[in-house]
Structure 1
Amino acid sequence: MKKILVGVDGTEKSKKTSHIAADLINPESEVTLITVITEAVKEENIKERIKKVMDKEANFFKKRGIKVKKEIHYGHPAEIICNFAAENNFDLIILADKKDEKRSFLLGGTSDKVVRHAKQAVMVVK
């Protein structure tokens, strides 16, 4: 797999996903970290906070000798991730499972939609 898209949002599950991705992928692969900020997020300075998270995750991959890019988008996360992955010919999408514990038999909303709609292979990390 040459091009890998990894969802990042700064949560512990997201960090775990980055670590697993870094362990599994070939160092010659190109990794793109993606964060999608929904319109529902009204937090001040969200873009600055997300940039710091992205920089930290990117440095993690760089220390392992993995080429990494960063993407911040606004909109519906699953839709943006699927469209971005298709438009940029990614081979694999890696996301954290953020399921609601009350619905423990289901995937989280974004990961479930990406699994169902992406044209690429999708890996969901629990």
Structure 2
Amino acid sequence: MTGVDTRSVSRDSLFLLADLRLEESDEVHRVRVRNLSDGGMMGEGSVRVQRGYRVKVDLRNIGEVCGSVAWVQDERFGVAFDEEIDSQRARRPAGSGAMGAADSYPSYAHRAPQLPDPATLRKV
């Protein structure tokens, strides 16, 4: 790992506890969330995961989020979420449930565009 951060998605450094479940298991593991963005998180804990594992993470004020393990290093791991979340909601006090105007609409800032309909494409 280099000291240069080349990612374009902003992340919030924080310390939250979350419950993580491997998608094929009912066992719940408590993990520490070290940083969080709309598209993923870095977690830390004694749960043994491997790159590619499917997981469900229960985040405060957000709920259960599905994703895939993108990388693992010692007890830390990265999860890429299937759908973007509003990561700022996790910073609010637990159970606040107060939604502001910004929470009314989902964030599409870093979402990939929809694939075109093959029926509408033409050969060039």
TM bin (shorter chain): under 0.3
Q: Which one has the bigger helix percentage?
A: 1
Q: TM-score, normalised by structure 2?
A: 0.26
Structure of higher RCO (CA pairs closer than 8 Å, 6+ residues apart) = 1
The structure having more radius of gyration, on CA atoms, is 2
Superposition TM-score, scaled by structure 1 size:
0.26
